Structure 1
Amino acid sequence: MSLNKFTIRLLTIFLLLTILLLSTGYSQTRSKIQGTVKDVQTGEVLFGANVVLLDTYLGAATDVHGKYFIINVPIGTYKVQATMIGYNKKVVTEVIVSADKVTTVDFELSSAIIQSEEVIVTAQRNTLNTEVSNTITVITAEQLENTTGMREISSFLEKQPGVSTENGFLQIRGGSSDQTGTFVNGMAYNNAAVGNAETSIPLSSIEQVSLLSGGFNAEYGNFRSGLINITTKSGSKDKYKGTISISRNAPLVKRFGPLMNDPYSPALRPYLDPSLAFYGTDNTWKNTDPYLYQQHDRFDGWIPAANTFNQTNPKFRASAMDYYYLASWMHMALPDYEGLSKLPDSVKTAIGYYELSDEQKKLFKDHAWDEEGTDYNFDVGFGGPFPFISKMLGNLTFYLSHISKETSYIVPVSRKSQKTHVTLLTMKTNPMEALTLTINGLWKRQMGVSPIKPAFGDFPDAAREGGFMTSDNLKYFARLSNLDGGVNYWYTPPMFPLLNQTTLMGGFTLNHVYDARTFSEFAASYLSIKDNAPVGDNRNSSIMTLFGPFPVTEMPYGKWQFAPNNRLTTIVGSDTISYLYPNYDALPGVFRRFRGKEGDLYTNVHTQQQRVKYDLVSQIGDHNYFKAGIEYNRFDIDHKLWMKWNRTGPYNSYEFNYRRTPSTTGAYVQDQISFEGIVANLGIRMDYFYGGGGKWPSGDAFAYAFTSAFGEAPRDPGAATDSFYAALASGRSLIWEKWEEYDKENPGFLQPVKNFMTFSPRLGVSFPVTERAKFYFNYGHFRSNPPYSTMYLIRYRYDKNGLYDMANPNLEPPKTVSYELGATYNFLDNYLVNLSGYYKDITGQNGDVNYKSSSGSVDYELWENNNYQDIQGVEINITKNDNSWITGWVNFNYMLKKSGLTGRAVVSDVTINDDQAGLYSGQESRFLPQPLFNANITFNAPRSLFEDNLLLNALLSGWSTTFFFEWKSGDYFTWNPLNKEHVSSNVQWPTHTMLNMKMSKTFIVRGIGITMFVDVSNLLNNKISLLNKGYAFRRNNVDGGNFTQWNDTKEYLASLRLPMYNSPEYDVLREQNPGKYIAGDDKIGDLRSDSKSYINDPDYSYFIFGQPRDIWFGIKIDF
C-alpha cells in the first residue's frame, strides 16, 4: 500500500473520530483462544500447525508442544480453522469468546493420506474454563431471547443469583448500587451524581453480557460488589444484517384491588357511596357495622356540609348533591349514577337530588383517573460494511441500533408513563493488520417523573429519592400517606415533579498488535448526563362546568401551587357566580390537599466524566498471560439542584447546589500463571482517590454557621427574594458563600479536603480435579469511592432548621475483603453446575451521625466511616445451553447479612453527654436469609423437524416455549405483642411465587426469519402478596416507626388465629382484647372471608396484591 493511500486513510479515520467523539465510545473488550493440535491417529502433538480465526487477521502457529495462543480476540462468535501440510484441515464453528474467559479449542487432524472432505464440527458449549477463578455468568443474545419478559438487560440480570434491585438500581451480593459498575465495550457507564450503574441500551445491539459477581481481577477498580460487562455488535464486513422487534401488551391495571377512584374503595367510600355519603359514617355505620366503621375515615356527611355553606352564602345556595358531584370531580371519580337514582324519595328531597346532563357525564368520563395503561417496546438494529467507503477505510463496519419504549406507572401521577429512547452506533476498522480502531456513540433521552417531593426536601441520591421513579411506583405513592397523616396527597396528580434526562457519550479504542503474543489498547471516552425538570404552575384555569355554586376547572390535574387563592368566576344567565375554594382546594370534612404542596424541583444537574485507559497484554511463554495498565477518571459534577415550597418567599426552600471535580487514578499489574492445569491469577492494584480539592466546613461541628438564623433568607416577596432565587437558579450556593465569609472571621472553620491512596491485592486459583470438574478460590481487597452524594451533597433549609444533612468529602474509601470458594462440574457433556460460597468483610462503610447542640439550634446528620457489614452466601447455578430441544438454567441463592455501627450515633456539644453515651452505640442489624430459586427452561422444536414433509415442517418446526419460575421466601419481621426481650424476626410474610411463559413460532421466508411471540408474566394470574411492603396498612396520626408497629398492622395480626397464640401467656391479652389473640391454624397473609369473618383486613385493599397477568404480543424480523 502506498504512503499516500495510507495517509489518506488515517486522515479519514481521524476525521470520523473527531466527529464521533461527541457521541459515546466504548472499547472492544478482548479475550484469548488457546488449545492443542494433535494427530488423530497417533495422538502426537503437531508442531507448526496454523490456527486462524476465519474472516479476521488473527491466528497463531503451534509450538513444539503443539500448543497455540491467539490473543487480542474481540468478544463474539467465530469459526476457527487448523491446517498443516500433510493433514486435512478442520474447522470448528460457533466458537464463543467471552470477556474474562479463555476459550479452549483443541484440534485432532487426520492425515491427508486418508482422503476426506474438510472436517467441520460445532464447538462444545459449557466448558469448564479452568482459568476462571471467580464466578462469571456469560449471557448470549440467544439466552436473552429465550427468557420471558426480556425488554431490557436489567430484567435478565436480576434473575441471576446474587443480583437484586433497590429503587430500580441493580445491586450484587448485598452491596449498594454504587458498588456495582457497568461497562459497555469496556467503557464505564455509570451516573456518578446519583450513584448507580446504567444498563439502558438496545437489546438488538447486544453480542454478549458477562456478569462478574465474585472476586474480579486487578484490572477492575472502583467497584466492590460486581461488574456488568456488555459487548455490542460491530457489524460484519461481508454482509448486512438486521433485526426489528415490535411488541406491546394488552391494556391492564398493574395491580389487583379496587381502582383508586372507585366510589366504594377504602379512601372514597365515606364520601361517594350514595347510601353513606349524605348522612355520614356515624349515622350509618357506627352502631350497625362497627367493622366497616373502624376501617374507614370518619365523615359527617354532605347534608351538614351544605347547611354550613348556606348559612354564609344566602344568594347562591349549595345542596348536598352539589357537594357530592364536586367531591367526585375532585377525586377524579365517576359518580354512582345508579346508586343515586335508587335512593328513597325522601332522601332525594333532602339532598336536592338532580341528574347531570349528558354533556356533564361526558366531562366526568373524560376527567376520570385512568389507571389502565398500555406499554410498548420497539427495538431495531442494522449493520454491516459501511456503504461505499468500507474497503477504502480498512473494512470499516458499523452497527446502528435503537430502542424506544413506554412503560406505564402502576399508579399514574404527573405523567402516566415513562418513555425512553436510546440510539447506539458502533464502528470498527482495521486500517492496518496490526491496528484496530473502534468508535461508539450513544444518545439517550428519558422522560418520566422524579420520586422527589420538593416541599419535603427529599434527598436526590440512589439510596433515597434520586433518579427516576420506577414503573412500580407503589413505594413512592403509598408513602404519601406517611406525610401529615392520612391520604391527603393521594389525589394530587402533580405531587411528583416531571423529570427529563439526556445522556451523550463519546469515545474510541485503539488496539495495536506488536506481535503474535503482545498487544496494547488505548481507550478514551466522555460521558455527559443532563437533568431538567419543568417548573411552574400549569393548571388550565378554564371553567369546564359547575355543580350548583361550585365552578370547576381541570382540577385537581395540573399544578397551581403559588396562587394565594383559587377563586373561580363564571356567568350563568344574568348571575355572576364567584367561589373562593378553601385552602388547598379542600372539601369540608375531607382531609385532602388537592393543590398547594407539590413544590418545584429546580434541577439542571450536569454530570460529566472523562476517562482514559491504557492496557498492555502479553502471552509470555506457555505459562504466563500478563496484563498491566493505567486509567484516569475525572468527574465534573455540576449539581444545580434546589427545591421550594412557599407562598411568601424562601421559606421552605432547600438548597443542594455544589460543583466538584473529583478524580480517580488507578494502575494495576496482573499475571495469569498456568501450569499443568492449575491456573493462578495474581495481581495488585493501586488507586488514588482525589477529593476534588478545595476546603470543607469540618473545623467546628457545632458552628453558628449551621443554624437556620445564619442563612438570613428574605421572607417577603420583592427584589431581595427575586435575587435570592436567581442566585440559586444560576447554580450559586448561597450558604457556601456565607460559609466562606464566616471562615474569614473564624479561621479554621473550613479545612482542606483529604485525598487517599490504596493498594488492593487480588488472588485467584483454579485447579481441575478431573476433566469434568474444577475447584476455584479467590481472595481480594476492593476499594471504591463512597457515593459522591455522601461526599458533597448537603441539605440546607432556609429559614427553618438550617442544616439538615452534611456530606463529608474526607470519607475514606470503604474496603471490602472478599473470599470465595467454588466448584464447577460438567456432567453429561452439556450440563454445567457451579456451586460457590462467599464471604465479604466490609469496613469503613459510610453511615450517619447526629450532631446536636444542647440549645437545639444545631441539629444535623453527618456522614462518617462508621458502619460495617458482613455478607455470606451460597449460590448454585445449573446451565444447559447447547441449542438442543431443551435448554435453560436453574439457580439458587442463599444469603446472610448483618450490619452495624462502629461509633456513636449521636454527638453533643456537651462533653458529659458524650462520655455517658460511650464510644459506641452498639447497633447491629441481622437479616435472616430469604432463599431464592429461579428456573428458566426452554423447549425448542428444531427448524428442520420434518425435512421430508414441507407442510409438517412448516407447521410443527420452529416452535419455542419458555417457562420461568421464581420462588422467594417471605420477609421476616418482628411480632412481639407480649413485649418479650430478645425476640426478633420471629414471623414471616407470605412467600413469593411466579410463573411466566413465552411462546414463539419462527418462519423462514426467503432467508428472512419472522418470529411471532406471546410473552405472559404471571401466567396463572396468582395474586402476589404485597403485605411485606406495608402499602396496604393505614397509618394514623400517632403511628410512627416501621409499618409493622402501626395500629392497623397490629389489629390485623391480632385478629389472625395464629399457632403462636396457643399459650397461656396470651390469656391477659385475650381478656383485654375480646376476639383477638386466639390460637388456630391461620397464616400471616390470610384475609377476611365468609369462613374467617373475624379477620380484620388491612384498611387499604388497593395494595394487598400486585403483579396481575400481563400479556405481551410481538413480532421479530431477522434479515
Structure 2
Amino acid sequence: MNRSVSGFRTALLLLVVWASSMELARAQGSIAGTVRDEYGEPLPGVNVIVVGTAFGAATDLEGRFRIDGLRPGEYSVRVSYVGFETKLFTGVRVRDGETTMLDITLREQVVVGEEVVIVGERPLVDVEQSSSAYIVSREQIEAAPLRSVQEVVGQQAGVLQDPTGLYIRGGRAYETGYYVDGVSARDPLAGTGFGLDLGTNAFQEVEVITGGLDARYGDVTSGVVSIRTREGGERLSGSFTHKRDNFGRLNENWDSNFREDIYELTLGGPLGTSRLRFFVAGQVQLSDGFTRQVSDPDSIRSSLVKWNFLLPRTGNRWNGFLKLTYTPWPGLKLQAAYQRSLTVNQNTRMLQVTGNEAVVAPGFQYAFILQPENANTFAHDNVLAYVKASHVINERSFYEIQVSRLFTRLRADANGRRWRPRAVTTELDPRSIVTYPATIFVDENGQPFDPNALFVLPGPGLFNNGGIATRFHDHFAEEWTLLATYTLFSTDRNRRLNAGLELKFNDYQWIDIIRPWVGAPIGSEEAEATGRLGESADIWRVKPRRGALFTTGQVRYRGLILNAGLRLEWWSPGRYVDRLVDDPRAPILETVRQAYKEDTVPFFGLRTKFFLLPRLRVSFPIRENQVLFFNYGRSTRLPHPTFVYAGLDPFYQDRSFFADLGNPNLNPEVDISYELGLRYQVTSNDVLSVTAFWRDKFDFITIENVIIRDPTGRETVRAFRINGDFARVRGLELSYLKRIGNWFLGQLAGSFSRATGLSSTNNDALVQFLARGDIENTFETPLAWDRPLDLKASVTLTYDRPRPLLGLPGLNRLQLFLSTTFRSGQRYTPAEFKGYQTNPFTGEPNWRPIYEIVSDPAARYSRIGAPWWWFDLVLRRRIQLGGNDLELSVEITNLFNQKNSVIINPVTGKAYPDVDPRKTDFTKLRGNRDFDVPINVRDPRYEDPTTSGLPPFNPARFLPPRHVMFGISYVF
C-alpha cells in the first residue's frame, strides 16, 4: 500500500515539475477590437478572455478592449455578457509585433448558459475546464453506431462497458449519476445506474464527467452522465430512419443477423410563432440478439404490458420524447418535457441488486435455453416529466426553477404468467430431466457399463421439464424533485456565485418473492392454502425524503480559475423506519435502535441524517494554451433501500434460511477523489490531455450474520448489512485529439488503472457464508471489473462536397467512421488441478480431470483473461432528393468478428472454445487442456451417469459477433 501511494505521488510530482519547467518566451502580440449590440450600440463591461491564458480585458464605455503581451500563436477568445449570447472565436492568430482586430456583435439572449455561439472551428475541448469531462456532440453521436446512452458513454476515456454495465474509473455500476436536462433519470431501485432509456436521436449532446464533480451533483460516487436534449428550431425540420440486419432468406442463417430493426423519428420547429417551439422524437429497437442462433422464441410476454404487439422480439425498446420551449420575452425561457421509455427483454442485468450472482456473469438465462418461454421476462417502464423556468433578473444575475417527476417501474415474471398460480397442479421448479428416448451409457465399443444393469445418461443439464422461473419481482419508484438555483456575477464577471436548493420526495414499493407458488393450494383451487408467501419474500413500501443546499463560488484571477463548492445533504429514511424503531416488536437489534436515535435529529417531522461534502476545482495556465488543473471532492451514495428496509415488519417475517434483515442506521457509501491533470492545446486542432487520479471509497455495504428472535420467539440467523467495506482506485489517463480541416477528426485515448477492495459486491460475504459458514474477509484484492489497460481510438473522415472524390461517380457526400478498442481481459479466480475422477469402466483414476476454484481469499480475481479487441465501422452517403437529403448507411460492429471472452473458464483463462456441440466428437478431445473445465461445470468429453451441472456452451460467453446493419434515412 505504501509503495503504491508513494509511486502515485511521485507521478503527480513529475507531472507538475514537467509542466512548470516549460520555457516562457517573451510574448509580443496583441488582440484589440470593439463589442456592440445588434443595433450598433457599444456594450461596456463585456468580459473578453483569451482562453487558456492569464490574459483578458473588459470593454470600456465605448465598447473597446485591448489585450497585450500575447505570445505569437493561435488562441480562442471568449466574449460574454449577462443577458447576451456568449461568443467563442477560435483560431484567432496573433503575430509577432502585430495587433489582431476583433469587431464583435452580440445579440440579446434568453438566459445565461445557452449554447455558446462558435465563430470559426468548434474547439476540440475547453482547455480551461477544471474537471475531467468529455462532451459528445450531436454530430459525433450520429457518426458512430450508437443506440443508447450507455453506448455513447462507453466510448469515453475512463469508462468501461461490458454486458454487466458501465464502470467509471473503477466505480461500481450503480454509482453513476444519470441526468436528463438536469433531472436525475436513474431508477433508484434497479441498481444499474440508469433508468429512463431515451433514444440517441433525442440527444443534443452528452457530457460525461469522470472527475471533479460540481456541488450540484449528489448521490453519486463515480461519474456523471448528463444529457441535454434537442429543441425545436426556427423552421420545421425532421427525419425518419429505418435500420435492419435481416432480409429474409438472403441472410436468414447468417451469424450477423440478430433479427434487429430500428425505427427513428424526429420532428421539430415553431408552433404558430417563433417564440413557441416544439420537438418530438421516438425510437423503436426490436432485436433477438446474437444468441438467437440457439434460442429463438417467437415473442416474449410481460404481465406489466397489456399490448403484446409491442413485444415481437426477445429484446424490445420503445421510447418517446416531447419538448416545448416558450420565450415570451428576452430574459425569460419556459420549458416543459414529457419522456417515456419501455424496455422489455430477458436480460437479468435489468435488475442487479438481488440474488448472489457473480458480477462478471452476463444476463442471458442460459439454463432456460431449451424452454425460453419459461424464463424471467423483465419489463422496465420509465416516465420523466418536468417544467422549467429560466429568468434573467438583471445584467448580473439569473435564476432557474425546475419541478420534475420521475416514475419508474420494473417487473420480473415468468414470461407474463401470474405472480402466483391459483393452484399448483404440476411441477413448477425448473429442472433437467431425462427425456424419452433415453441414452444408454456404453463404453467405446458400444457395450453397457454393467452387463447386469443398464445405466442412462442424465438430462442435458439445462431446464427441460416445463418448470418456470423462480423469481417474481415488482417495484416502483416515484420521485418528485424541486430544484432552484441562483447565479450572481460580479461587475467585472471575474467572480461568480451559484447557490441552489434541491428537495426530493420519494415513494418506493418493493416486492420480491422466490418460488411464489409455495403456499398456494395444491391440486385445485378448493384445496387449503398454507398462507405462506413463497419460499422467501421481501415486501415493503416507504416514503423517504432527501434534500440538499449547495453553493459554488468561482474566482478568476490572472488566468487562475478557482471553484470552491460545498454541499449539505440530508436524508430521512421515513416514517416507516421511525415507527418501527420505536416498536419493540420489530426485529431490530437494540444497539441499532439506540444508534439510530443518536445519529439522527428531528427535521420536519422525520429523523434525519446530515452530510457535509466539500468540492474544490482549480485550473491555471502554466503557459499559453497549457493549463494545469487539480480536483478534490467528497461525495456519497445512499445505500440501496433493500439494505435498510428488508425484513423489518414485525408481523410478516421471511422464513427462508439466512434471510435479509435491514439496518435502519446504515450510512451512505463515501468516495474521496483527487485528480491532477494537464491540458495542452498545441493548436486549435491538436489537444493533448494527461490526468492522474486517486479515489478512496469506504463505508461500502457488506454483510455480517446476526441472531434475532422471530415472532414465535425462535432464534434465527439473518444476513445483516453494515458499513464495513472499502475500495480504492488509482490510474493515469491520456487522450489526444486531432482535426484536419473539415474532413478528418481523430481521437486516441488510453488509461492504466487499478481497482482493489475487500469485495466486488455486497453479496460476496453472503456467498462466503453459504460456502464456508463464515464471512470474515480481510484481503484486499482486485475488483471483478478491474481492467488495468484500456485503449480506444477512432477516426471520422468526411467528404461533403458536390464533386465526386477522384472523379468517381458516387464518391461524394461521404462519411466514414472507424473505431477500435483494446482492453485487458476479464478478471477471474483461477482453478487448480486436484487429480482425476475414477474411470467407471476400469476403476483407475484416469477419467475426468478435477479442477477446483482456489479457496485462498488472496487469489480472488488475481488473474486476467484473454484481452478484448474489436473494431467498428460506419459508412454513410447522403443524396440530395427534392431539396432534402436521403442518407444510406451501413454499420458493422466487431468488424473482424473477433472472439472476446466474457465468461472465463478459470482453468484456461479464456472462454470455452467456440465449437458446434452437434457436430463435435468430444471423446476425441480428451486430454486437450483447452477443453478442461472446473468440476462444477459439465464436461461433454466425459459423460457418465454421475454427470451434472450446466454444459459450457453458453452463447453469451463471448461478446456479440460481427453485426451488420443497413439503414436508410430521410432528413428534411
Q: TM-score, normalised by structure 1?
A: 0.62
Amino acid at match of 2:635: F
Higher radius of gyration, 1 or 2: 1
Q: Which residue of 2 aligns with 1:742?
A: 585
In the alignment, does 2:307 pair up with 1:436? no
CA distance in 1, matches of 2:681, 2:106: 20
Please give the residue correspondences for 1:720-799 in structure 2 after superposition, counting only pairs within 5 Å.
Answer: 742-743=585-586, 754=600, 755-794=608-647
CA distance in 2, matches of 1:856, 1:633: 40
State the Cα deviation string for residues 1024-1052 of structure 1 (Å, max 9, x = none): 334526799999xxxxxxxxxxxxx9x99
State the Cα deviation string for residues 196-255 of structure 1 (Å, max 9, x = none): 223521222211111111021212222111111111111113x111122210113799xx
Q: Which residue of 2 aligns with 1:244?
A: 240
Amino acid at match of 2:869: T
State the Cα deviation string for residues 48-102 of structure 1 (Å, max 9, x = none): 6448999xxx998953373952357899999999xxxxx9955799xx9999999
CA distance in 2, matches of 1:985, 1:828: 44
In the alignment, does 2:464 pair up with 1:608? no
In the alignment, does 2:704 pair up with 1:849? yes
CA distance in 2, matches of 1:75, 1:694: 50
- Stretches of structure 2 lacking an aligned partner (at least 5 in a row): 1-27, 49-57, 66-77, 93-100, 301-312, 439-455, 523-528, 601-607, 767-772, 835-853, 912-921, 934-939, 942-949
* 3-state DSSP of counterpart to 1:441: strand
Q: Which residue of the other structure, out of 812, 816, 837, is the alignment partner of 1:961?
A: 816
Q: Which residue of 1 aligns with 2:735?
A: 877
In the alignment, does 2:828 pair up with 1:832? no
Structure 1 pair 829–639 and aligned structure 2 pair: CA distance change class (3 A): same
Alpha-carbon shift at residue 601 of structure 1 (Å): 5.0
Q: Which residue of the other structure, out of 480, 492, 503, is the alignment partner of 1:632?
A: 503
Q: Is the 8 A contact 1:940 1:961 kept in 2?
A: yes
Q: Which residue of 2 aligns with 1:140?
A: 137
Please give the residue correspondences for 1:1024-1063 in structure 2 after superposition, counting only pairs within 5 Å.
Answer: 1024-1026=900-902, 1028=904, 1056=929
Q: Which residue of 1 aligns with 2:123?
A: 125
Structure 1 pair 987–201 and aligned structure 2 pair: CA distance change class (3 A): closer
Structure 1 pair 1004–888 and aligned structure 2 pair: CA distance change class (3 A): farther
Alpha-carbon shift at residue 790 of structure 1 (Å): 2.4
CA distance in 1, matches of 2:86, 2:574: 36
Matched residue pairs, number?
787
Structure 1 pair 1026–214 and aligned structure 2 pair: CA distance change class (3 A): closer
Q: Which residue of the other structure, out of 786, 794, 809, is the alignment partner of 2:664?
A: 809
Q: Is the 8 A contact 2:565 2:615 kept in 1?
A: yes
Structure 1 pair 921–133 and aligned structure 2 pair: CA distance change class (3 A): same
CA distance in 1, matches of 2:827, 2:402: 47
CA distance in 1, matches of 2:218, 2:707: 37
Structure 1 pair 594–958 and aligned structure 2 pair: CA distance change class (3 A): same
In the alignment, does 2:561 pair up with 1:661? no
Q: Which residue of 2 aligns with 1:419?
A: 316
Amino acid at match of 2:194: A
In the alignment, does 2:965 pair up with 1:1107? no
Please give the residue correspondences for 1:339-488 in structure 2 after superposition, counting only pairs within 5 Å.
Answer: 373-386=258-271, 388=272, 390=273, 395-409=275-289, 410=291, 411-412=295-296, 415=300, 416-449=313-346, 451=348, 461-464=351-354, 475-478=363-366, 480=367
Alpha-carbon shift at residue 507 of structure 1 (Å): 1.1
* 3-state DSSP of counterpart to 1:760: strand
CA distance in 2, matches of 1:779, 1:420: 39
Structure 1 pair 985–639 and aligned structure 2 pair: CA distance change class (3 A): closer
In the alignment, does 2:170 pair up with 1:174? yes
Structure 1 pair 248–99 and aligned structure 2 pair: CA distance change class (3 A): farther
Amino acid at match of 2:585: Y
State the Cα deviation string for residues 563-592 of structure 1 (Å, max 9, x = none): 53599xxxxxxxxxxxxx999795555436
Alpha-carbon shift at residue 690 of structure 1 (Å): 1.3
Alpha-carbon shift at residue 515 of structure 1 (Å): 1.3
Q: Is the 8 A contact 1:794 1:805 kept in 2?
A: yes
Amino acid at match of 2:781: S
State the Cα deviation string for residues 477-535 of structure 1 (Å, max 9, x = none): 24x4xxxxxxxx54232342333333222211111101122100001001112334566
Q: Which residue of the other structure, out of 758, 766, 769, is the alignment partner of 1:900?
A: 758
Amino acid at match of 1:645: W
Q: Which residue of 2 aligns with 1:923?
A: 779
Structure 1 pair 954–808 and aligned structure 2 pair: CA distance change class (3 A): farther
CA RMSD between the two structures: 5.2
Q: Is the 8 A contact 2:112 2:392 kept in 1?
A: no
Amino acid at match of 2:694: Y
CA distance in 2, matches of 1:762, 1:994: 38
Q: Which residue of the other structure, out of 548, 551, 557, is the alignment partner of 1:675?
A: 557
Q: Which residue of 2 aligns with 1:520?
A: 399
Q: Is the 8 A contact 1:76 1:208 kept in 2?
A: no
* 3-state DSSP of counterpart to 2:151: helix
CA distance in 1, matches of 2:248, 2:700: 43
Identical aligned residues as a percent = 16
Q: Which residue of 2 aligns with 1:645?
A: 517
Q: Which residue of the other structure, out of 488, 494, 499, is the alignment partner of 1:618?
A: 488
Q: Which residue of 2 aligns with 1:509?
A: 388
Q: Is the 8 A contact 1:169 1:462 kept in 2?
A: no
In the alignment, does 2:464 pair up with 1:594? yes
CA distance in 2, matches of 1:560, 1:744: 31
- Stretches of structure 1 lacking an aligned partner (at least 5 in a row): 1-40, 82-86, 106-120, 260-370, 453-459, 481-488, 540-557, 568-580, 700-738, 908-913, 1036-1048, 1059-1074, 1077-1086, 1089-1096
In the alignment, does 2:718 pair up with 1:860? yes
Structure 1 pair 1025–694 and aligned structure 2 pair: CA distance change class (3 A): closer
State the Cα deviation string for residues 138-185 of structure 1 (Å, max 9, x = none): 1101011222x2122211211212222466543311212332111111
Q: Is the 8 A contact 1:77 1:97 kept in 2?
A: no
User: Would you tell me which structure has more strand in proportion to its own residues?
Assistant: 2
CA distance in 1, matches of 2:373, 2:788: 37
CA distance in 1, matches of 2:622, 2:186: 39
Q: Which residue of 2 aligns with 1:194?
A: 190
State the Cα deviation string for residues 807-855 of structure 1 (Å, max 9, x = none): 3232111221110011111224312121111101111111111235899
CA distance in 1, matches of 2:318, 2:369: 30
State the Cα deviation string for residues 945-985 of structure 1 (Å, max 9, x = none): 469x9xx4862221111111111122344355598987776
Please give the residue correspondences for 1:692-711 in structure 2 after superposition, counting only pairs within 5 Å.
Answer: 692-695=574-577
Q: Which residue of 1 aligns with 2:180?
A: 184
In the alignment, does 2:22 pair up with 1:150? no
* 3-state DSSP of counterpart to 1:999: strand
Structure 1 pair 167–758 and aligned structure 2 pair: CA distance change class (3 A): farther
Q: Is the 8 A contact 1:177 1:462 kept in 2?
A: no
Structure 1 pair 803–518 and aligned structure 2 pair: CA distance change class (3 A): same
CA distance in 2, matches of 1:993, 1:880: 23
* 3-state DSSP of counterpart to 1:594: coil
Q: Is the 8 A contact 2:111 2:331 kept in 1?
A: no
Amino acid at match of 2:543: T
User: Would you tell me which structure has more helix in proportion to its own residues?
Assistant: 1
CA distance in 1, matches of 2:488, 2:505: 28
Q: Is the 8 A contact 1:169 1:197 kept in 2?
A: no
Alpha-carbon shift at residue 561 of structure 1 (Å): 11
